Amino acid sequence: MKITDTETVLKATKGNVTIKRIAGGVPHISADHQIDLYWGLGYMHGTDRQLSMWLVKLIGQGRASEKLKADEELIAADKYMRWISLGGYAKQEIKKFSTETKAVLNAYCDGINRAVADSGVPFEFKLVGYKPEPWTPEDTVLMSMITAFIGLTQSQGDMEKLIIQMIQEGVSIEKLMELLPSMESPKKELIDVIKKTNLVNPMVPESVKWLSVLTRFSASNNWAVSPARTKSKTAILCGDPHIEINRLPALWYEAVMVSGDFSIMGATLPGLPAVVLGRSNNIAWSVTYGFMDTIDYFIEDVVDKKCLRGKKRVPFVVREEVIRPKKKPPITMKFYESDNGVLEGEPNTDGYWLSFSWSARRGTIAQSMDSILKVHRAKNVKEALDRFSGMTYAAFNWVVADNAGNIGYQMSGSFPKRKKGTSGLLPYFGWDSSQQWKGIVPPSNYPRAYNPPEGYVATANEDFSHLSKVPVQNLPMGAYRGDRIRELLKKHTPLDVEAMKKIQYDLYSLQAQYFMKIIKPLLPDTGNGRILRDWDLRYDTGSLGATLFERVYAELLKIVFGRFGIGTDVIDYALVETGLFNDYYDNFDRILLAKKSLWFGEKTRQEIYKQAIDTALKKRAVPYGKTHKILMANLFFGGKLPRILGFDFGPIELPGNRATIVQGQIFKSAGRLTTFAPSYRLIADLGETAIHTNIPGGPSDRRYSPYYTSDIRSWQSGAYKILKPR
């Protein structure tokens, strides 16, 4: 059934639900009973996002090669997802949901399945002969696990794996300690064991391009300002989560839901019955990734496929999975699990093997789903912060503002209780009971703030240890973006919606400012030298200086951490094929900006910078956007169809970079091109009954729908639509 700007009335769980399209094709859902709002949200997710939802479901289950096509990339994706087994505990989680949450889940799933029955099977699925099975509450649990693991937990694991590899490659402990100041000095026994440990690397196969279908959270900005700093004399909240935008449809799905005096609106994730960032009658909230360390590697001493525990050997729990690719022989895989997690690889030889442990893998979804649904009805910031602390399934920074002018911040997650004196960056001995986790640190110890004296709170994935009773972050992002936001908030007081729009589109780089103090005196009096010297430190697409600076920065990384560290080839690969330098640049910048470092070898800082500058400025400068382009590719076809058919959008030039408020990072992860960029922009002045938003896409995943790319031009140009409950 087509939903248009004319009201459509449908029978829902307890009564009728009325749905129509408003600005940008966003659905406005109204009902007499709140439970029917979730039925209506499910109906619209099923109407507009059936293709993307079931793609994520199949890949998350590790069944995509069975139901779609049996190419090597999908088989590799299935193997990886079977290894981590995100949906393996879904049925146990469902039993833990409260009665109220179960009712919401059931209504939501009923709405999805009614929409699928009304709209039929997407032609893409008909092409491969797949008919979607009904959507179930277990599928929603799986979707929640995917949002918690893909990108977030993975990135921490990749960095900890790199530390192990650096030790195996002979990088000195002194250098590692300088690079990672939060890491404890490893004992000789641990170093010796690490060097003998089998590595199944990389953790994510390079061929798994289909993982681009899965939700990948990365980095974000959010902030809230108290009434003392605003023109309206009410609180203002802003958020712009930075994740992959080189895909269509857009990740987020906007909705407005109204029942009597209750209203809620903002961004949802298809497959989940919740507004993840938005506003209700009483509060507005937004989210960024918290960079909490929720994973560890344990080294297992394995003999005859048994692991050591104390002085005894105990068998692994062997989980057998069978992948049945279409028209190909079944593939049987065995995964070995212990009380420490799941082993990487099958231990066919005796020796040391790595086990991957994630604190949120089990027992967190029910509590988290209960908590987010209670946030929808929270009356004020204090109540919302308590609810957000119950979001144990993932590490997020939640910023909140309310109608009374209060603002606040809470980090969520599941931080494991580790052995005292350890950082979590180095692997632990799986056989030593003193090194095993001793439960989870209570969320009351996590970073939190309420009505801070400065009158604002802002997060951009940086370190918030000063607000925490326990050091839950060991590899936060750099503070460049957060510092720039705070700088602008102080500079532009009193603030209003228009000022917030300008901040959300700011392209100035504090990182470049710090580096250019060293670079400027060393620049030659040449064409490129003068261009870089006169650069305004902004990453707009027409900038020549931004291009030259990025070349110098890349050369510095190659010289210091490649030639004098773990090898130029390794750094070249990490720069192009991974997100390590996109997430953890602060650790590397600390070395590059230092006057002296063990990583400089026999060279001085000036000599290294001069060499990097000479190499980087040899080629002609081109506008930043010419080398910084992305194609927003259709999720199913992946850019393989002729551009004229319109399934893809672009290519577009992407402004910004790692250290600008508008992140515009482009890199590869698991062999596929990905991005960190604003995936949704939200501004909520609590004095208005409205939100100002834009999004790189539209509500629908149907190519021939007018709502497929309906908001992209606004997102590019800085225009915002206004969504209201009435």
CA distance 230 to 250: 32
Q: Are 448 and 385 in contact (CB under 8 A)?
A: yes
Q: Does one domain contain both 162 and 210?
A: yes
Nearest C-alpha neighbor of 61 from the set 152, 154, 139, 144: 139
Q: Does one domain contain both 181 and 286?
A: yes
Q: Within 10 A of 111 (CB to CB), how many other CB atoms are there? A: 29
712 pLDDT higher than 70: yes
Q: Does one domain contain both 244 and 374?
A: yes
Amino acid 566: pLDDT: 73
Q: Please, what is the Cα angle at 349 between 344 and 352, to 5 degrees? A: 55
E strand intervals along 601-726: 629-634, 649-653, 665-669, 672-678, 681-685, 691-694, 721-723
Domain boundary among 577, 603, 626: 626
**Who contacts 661 (Cβ-Cβ below 8 Å, separation ≥6)?**
221, 460, 481, 484, 485, 503, 504, 505, 506, 507, 508
Q: Does one domain contain both 610 and 700?
A: no
CA distance 90 to 260: 34
CA distance 371 to 384: 9
Q: Does one domain contain both 333 and 221?
A: yes
Provide mean pLDDT across the span 462-474: 93
Is 381 within a domain? Answer: yes
DSSP designation for 210: G
Band of pLDDT at residue 462, cut at 50, 70 and 90: very high
Residue range of the domain that includes 662 = 150-504+640-726
Q: Does one domain contain both 609 and 694?
A: no
207 pLDDT higher than 50: no
Q: Does one domain contain both 620 and 690?
A: no
Is 470 within a domain? Answer: yes
308 pLDDT higher than 50: yes
Q: Model confidence over 576-587: pLDDT tens digits? A: 667 777 888 999
Is 12 within a domain? Answer: no
Domain of residue 241, CATH code: 3.60.20.10
Q: Are 478 and 589 in contact (CB under 8 A)?
A: yes
Q: Does one domain contain both 243 and 384?
A: yes
CA distance 198 to 352: 6
**Who contacts 613 (Cβ-Cβ below 8 Å, separation ≥6)?**
519, 522, 523, 524, 552, 555
Q: Model confidence over 34-63: pLDDT tens digits? A: 999 999 999 999 999 999 999 999 999 999
Threshold 0.85, pTM exceeds: yes
Q: Are 289 and 219 in contact (CB under 8 A)?
A: yes
- Tell me, letter by letter, the H, E, C secondary structure of 116-143: HHHHCCCHHHHHHCCCCCCCCHHHHHHH
CA distance 470 to 466: 9
Q: Please, what is the Cα angle at 287 between 135 and 692, to 5 degrees? A: 90
Q: Model confidence over 378-421: pLDDT tens digits? A: 999 999 999 999 999 999 999 999 999 999 999 999 999 999 99
DSSP designation for 465: G
154 pLDDT higher than 90: no
Q: Model confidence over 490-520: pLDDT tens digits? A: 998 899 999 999 999 999 999 999 999 999 9
Q: Model confidence over 7-27: pLDDT tens digits? A: 999 999 999 999 999 999 999
Band of pLDDT at residue 206, cut at 50, 70 and 90: very low
Q: Does one domain contain both 496 and 518?
A: no
**Who contacts 366 (Cβ-Cβ below 8 Å, separation ≥6)?**
93, 94, 96, 97, 98, 101
Domain of residue 599, CATH code: 1.10.1400
Q: Does one domain contain both 655 and 533?
A: no
Nearest C-alpha neighbor of 605 from the set 565, 546, 560: 560
Give strand pairing partners of 221: 240
Q: Does one domain contain both 469 and 613?
A: no
Total domains in the chain come to 2
Helix axes 585-592, 544-557, angle to 10 degrees: 80
